[in-house]
Structure 1
Amino acid sequence: MATSGNKLLLAWRMGRVGWHLLSGCTQIALFFGRSTPAQKQRRIQNWSAQLLGVCGMRVQVVGDIAAIPKDTGRFWVSNHVSWLDIFAINAVQPMRFVGKDDIQTWPVIGWLVARSDTIFISRSNRAAALAANDIISNALQAGANIAIFPEGTSTDGHQLKPFKHSLFQAPISAGVPVQALCVRYPLPNGDLNPAPAYHGDISLWQTLVALLQQPQSVAEVHILAALDSTGMSRQQLGASAQSEIAQCLAQCAEQVVPIQAEYAETVTQ
């Protein structure tokens, strides 16, 4: 049962989230049309970091994000726990995401995501998924950072579902590396925080309410190995990425991983 303190915290944060969503809509309407790609990415990064801050969440980066070259396109692959994954990753490295077309129906967030250069794929149309490889490959060759959640659905964060390999053809065709990521939401004792997990019958609203009632929460973004796509099949490349992320989850389950770096920059527009 929620205490009066939790109710006050929830009401305060819910109001701030609503205001921040309105700010995001305003920025897109007023600025995105005349912004360069780099300016758009910077706004997305700042806005994502601020949203997580409003929700009481810190983003911690495990690994050296600064060592990743910025002058070429890269295909980013992550496990999928929550709708918060997109904002946690964007707070560290802004990028274009590939998502299911039903995300566009989400209130407000769907509108924001749709106007952030997201590449949408119909979950029921295999031909559309295959055609998306050409779109992604062209974007990668033009220097874009593209991210996918190859499980195709979200989990509770403890394990991975089998990766879908169809979109791994894009980095092979573009000749760019695959960058593996692992996203976790740990509690102070090292266990996984169940509040952000958006899976099964849990609704987005339920995850948001549970999250906002916590005094503070953490999102870990682990920077894992970069995988060379040269000479690889999409099945081999997908299996290698899955192995990297699964190994990270297993290691984190055994011990609390020390934080090597923390993303702390928050810029108010």
Structure 2
Amino acid sequence: MTGPWLPQASCDAGCVDAGATTPGHRAMVAWRLAVRVVLALTLLSASPLIATPVPGRSRVQRSYCRLMLRCLGVRITVSGGPIRNLSGVLVVSGHVSWVDVFVIGAVMPGRFVAKSELISWPGLGLLARLMKVIPIERANLRRLPTVVDTVAARLRTGHTVIAFPEGTTWCGLAHGPFRPAMFQAAVDAGRPVQPLRLSYHHRDGRPSTTAAYIGDDTLLGSIRRLMAAPRTLVRVQVAALQLPGDDRRDLAVRCESAVRGDRARRAAGHALVA
């Protein structure tokens, strides 16, 4: 099912940095890839630990996500405001890749709202089930209110819930508008929203699209591209906490402005980086 409400990104394979392919780099890339694959498979075998109900489980989840990012060749830095130890917070950010789940999980672990197909992905599907992902069928509008109600219920019981209001992934240079539907959960539950600004970079600081998962990309192709890259840096900026108010559209606008900064005043899509 498709319709005009279904989020569609203008990004395609042309946006993605495929990495070095010159003969001089191939041996190094192959070695780097082999080492990271072995480490990632070892870490996946220990994934049930993140679901173990022990004291300090959130610290275990953060550490696990950071280790998985290292296997993928990703490092993160955190800046901005303090991460408040509040219960029942809706966390939102822009959406570039499935890697966003690990990035946010390394900073503010919680229950993610993610596309239902994630549950069936090899390896990552198991992680999704262990992390109690709230599945959403983007092509089925009739089920959206049920998902919103589920998120509101989780917030009321003190859980942190992470959602991506763009509704689909973009390359990271371009972006889409924040859809207001998921913010209704914060309004209904009367719980605050924590916006996070995520940006991916090469080692030298230039913006990177290596982690982007867009167009006809495959999970295996995306993993290989990340693992073959020398290093990908993710900057996580903690924006100001937003009170829910009683208008989901106003809340969505405030959170998008907090996430985009100056970019929020420019047109969304590839025109903003032309």
TM-score (norm 2): 0.82
How far the C-alpha of 1:242 sits from its partner, in A, is: 1.5
Question: Is 1:184–1:192's contact at 8 Å kept on the other side of the alignment?
Answer: yes
Question: Is 2:88–2:155's contact at 8 Å kept on the other side of the alignment?
Answer: yes
Report the Cα distance in structure 2 between the residues aligned to 1:20 and 1:91, rounded to whole angstroms.
15
The answer to whether 1:18 aligns with 2:35 is no
User: Are the structure 2 counterparts of residues 7 and 249 from structure 1 closer, same or farther at C-alpha, using a change threshold of 3 Å?
Assistant: farther
- 2:49 equivalent in structure 1: 27
The answer to whether 1:244 aligns with 2:266 is no
One-letter amino acid matched to 1:7: A
How far the C-alpha of 1:138 sits from its partner, in A, is: 1.7
How far the C-alpha of 1:216 sits from its partner, in A, is: 2.3
User: Are the structure 2 counterparts of residues 65 and 54 from structure 1 closer, same or farther at C-alpha, using a change threshold of 3 Å?
Assistant: farther
Question: Is 1:181–1:223's contact at 8 Å kept on the other side of the alignment?
Answer: yes
How far the C-alpha of 1:4 sits from its partner, in A, is: 0.9
The aligned length equals 242
Question: Is 1:182–1:248's contact at 8 Å kept on the other side of the alignment?
Answer: no
How far the C-alpha of 1:90 sits from its partner, in A, is: 0.7
The answer to whether 1:98 aligns with 2:113 is yes
- 1:53 equivalent in structure 2: 70
Report the Cα distance in structure 2 between the residues aligned to 1:59 and 1:190, rounded to whole angstroms.
13
The answer to whether 1:41 aligns with 2:58 is yes
The answer to whether 1:150 aligns with 2:165 is yes
Runs of 4+ in 1 over 3 A off after TM superposition: 248-251
- In structure 1, list runs of 5 or more residues that go unmatched: 252-269
TM-score (norm 1): 0.83
- In structure 2, list runs of 5 or more residues that go unmatched: 1-20, 266-274
How far the C-alpha of 1:246 sits from its partner, in A, is: 2.1
1:197 equivalent among 185, 208, 212: 212
Report the Cα distance in structure 2 between the residues aligned to 1:13 and 1:214, rounded to whole angstroms.
11
CA RMSD between the two structures: 2.0
Report the Cα distance in structure 1 between the residues aligned to 2:240 and 2:215, rounded to whole angstroms.
30
Which is worse superposed, 127-136 or 101-110? Answer: 127-136
- 2:17 equivalent in structure 1: none
Question: Is 1:158–1:249's contact at 8 Å kept on the other side of the alignment?
Answer: no
